[in-house]
Amino acid sequence: MAQFSPFDQQMMSLALQEARKALYLSNPNPRVGCVICKGDKILGQGFTQRVGGNHAEIEAIANARHLGASDSDLQGSAVYVSLEPCSHKGRTPPCCDALERIGPARVVIAMQDPNPKVSGQGVARLVQLGITVHCGLLEQEATSLNLGFVKRMTQGLPYVRMKIAASLDGRTALLNRQSQWITGAAARADGHHWRAQACAILSGGGTVREDDPQLTVRDVVTQRQPLRVIVDSHLETPLNAKVLNDANVLLVCANPEPKHLRAMQDALKEKGIPILELPNPKGKVDLPKLFSYLAKEYEINEVHVEAGFKLNGSLVRESCVDELLIYQAPCFLGDGLGMANIASLNQLSDRQDWTIIDHRLIGGDLRIRAVPNKAKK
């Protein structure tokens, strides 16, 4: 790590701060920040814009120009960027070309781009141009900002975060299915922050029928709404459900009655809402296949699950969950539905273990984040 000075650290922290500004914005593109310096002076900074818009490097160059930097200021500069600059032409031209035009002396990169179209080729290109390249500064921070993008690029699957609001005794609804509201307003607002950074919000037909949720981001300001994905095996979502109010939704079924399927297809075609048939041999929706479909066809990096007992259970049992986001309210609800439908065990040693990675109070509720322990051999 000797190649990085305290100033380098400071500048990459600033680049990461820029990257965080793209948290709700840049999906399915990774959140990237860039800072351009000459000596100890910052010339410009920027972050990834909406998909199809500028990458962080282009924004930082434009910002530097806007602030008065000349060609000779940019020549020989140091560029700090939280992701390897792209070398390919995607929706936008390669950032390496833009860097070549300004001619920096050094480029410091936090993490390699896991996109196979780039992955090392950006660095190779910069080196070929005679630029000094240093990689790996604050790599973990950069990676943790883009867990979904990394998982999609490396495994063809999205990162799945399951949100659950429960009581101290782990109840998520009363026996009569009433579930609104167990946690307080602050926890609900915090939930919207997680919704806003997801590419898709996943819920079940049962939740849609019982709560009629919109599954949109409302409590935080955002320029984009995640795709709503409804797992509804028998296609029982009522046509007047709020989630069907606009076309930013995908209905996924398993084995609906053929006549009913056709009627629903006809009704939803007018609204531009697709129905995906994805049955598994048990006649339920094939969840692992659904996730690879979402990654491949919709470029979904992060899925935010807000579902009920049954779908949560299927997702946990089928090892589809990368992270639990649990809001626990300090109350008892007695008999009711639990967090996830897991079959009863005979041995404590058969349980599925998770590791808590964060816990804090949100208003009067406890927020716990946990990731699954690797399967025992």
Residues that bind Zn ion (CB under 5 A): 55, 86, 95
Q: Does 32 bind ligand AOF (CB under 6 A)?
A: yes
Active site residue 57: yes
Residues across the chain: 377
CA-angle at 226, arms to 220 and 228, nearest 5°: 120
Q: Which residue's CB is nearer to ligand AOF, number 28 or number 372?
A: 28
> Given candidates 16, 36, 37, 83, which one binds ligand AOF under the rule CB under 6 A?
83
Q: Shortest approach of ligand AOF to residue 16 CB, angstroms?
A: 12
Q: Does 374 bind ligand AOF (CB under 6 A)?
A: no
Q: Does 30 bind ligand AOF (CB under 6 A)?
A: yes
165 annotated ligand-binding residue? yes
| Residues in 40-69 at the binding interface with ligand AOF, rule: CB under 6 A | 48, 55-57
Q: Shortest approach of ligand AOF to residue 90 CB, angstroms?
A: 3
Long-range contacts of 278-286 (CB under 8 A, 24+ apart): 278/252, 278/253, 278/254, 279/253, 279/254, 279/255, 280/254, 283/233, 283/254, 283/255, 284/233, 284/254, 284/314, 285/231, 285/233, 285/252, 285/253, 285/254, 286/254
Q: Which residue's CB is nearer to ligand AOF, number 86 or number 164?
A: 86
Q: Shortest approach of ligand AOF to residue 54 CB, angstroms?
A: 8
Residue nearest to ligand AOF (CB): 90
Q: Does 158 bind ligand AOF (CB under 6 A)?
A: no
Q: Which residue's CB is nearer to ligand AOF, number 90 or number 279?
A: 90
Q: Which residue's CB is nearer to Zn ion, number 96 or number 285?
A: 96
Catalytic pick from 57, 59, 302, 323? 57
Q: Does 29 bind ligand AOF (CB under 6 A)?
A: yes
Residue 179: φ, ψ to 5°: -140, -5
Q: Does 199 bind ligand AOF (CB under 6 A)?
A: no
Q: Cis peptide before 354, with omega less than 30 degrees from 0?
A: no
With contact defined as beta carbons under 8 Å apart, do 283 and 254 qualify? yes
Measured torsion, CA atoms of residues 361, 363, 365, 367, in degrees rounded to the nearest 10: -40
Q: Shortest approach of ligand AOF to residue 94 CB, angstroms?
A: 8
Q: Does 86 bind ligand AOF (CB under 6 A)?
A: yes
Please give the structure tokens belonging to residue 171.
């109840």
**First and final C-alpha spacing in the chain:** 35
* Residue with tokens 């095996």, as numbered in its chain: 233
Q: How far is CA 272 from the centre of its chain?
A: 25
Say which amino acid occupies 242: K
Q: Shortest approach of Zn ion to residue 221 CB, angstroms?
A: 26
What single string gives the DSSP state of each residue in 199-226? SEEEEEHHHHHHH-------SS--S--P
4 annotated ligand-binding residue? no
Three-state secondary structure call for residue 86: coil
Helices assigned H by DSSP within 146-234: 147-155, 185-197, 205-211
Q: Does 115 bind ligand AOF (CB under 6 A)?
A: yes
218 annotated ligand-binding residue? yes
Distance CA 232, CA 342 (A): 20
Residue 136 binding target from ligand AOF, Zn ion, none, CB below 5 to 8 Å by type: none
Q: Which residue's CB is nearer to Zn ion, number 86 or number 290?
A: 86
Q: Which residue's CB is nearer to Zn ion, number 45 or number 237?
A: 45
Beta-sheet strands, E only, within 105-158: 106-111, 132-135
Distance CA 301, CA 115 (A): 12
272 annotated ligand-binding residue? no
86 annotated ligand-binding residue? yes
Residue 30 binding target from ligand AOF, Zn ion, none, CB below 5 to 8 Å by type: ligand AOF
Nearest residue to 293 (alpha-carbon basis) of 315, 275, 310, 278: 278
Mind telling me the catalytic residues?
Answer: 57
Binding positions for NADP(+) are: 165, 181, 195, 207, 211, 233, 308-314
- Known binding positions for Zn(2+): 55, 86, 95
Q: Which residues bind ligand AOF (CB under 6 A)?
A: 29-30, 32, 48, 55-57, 83, 85-86, 90-92, 95, 113, 115, 118
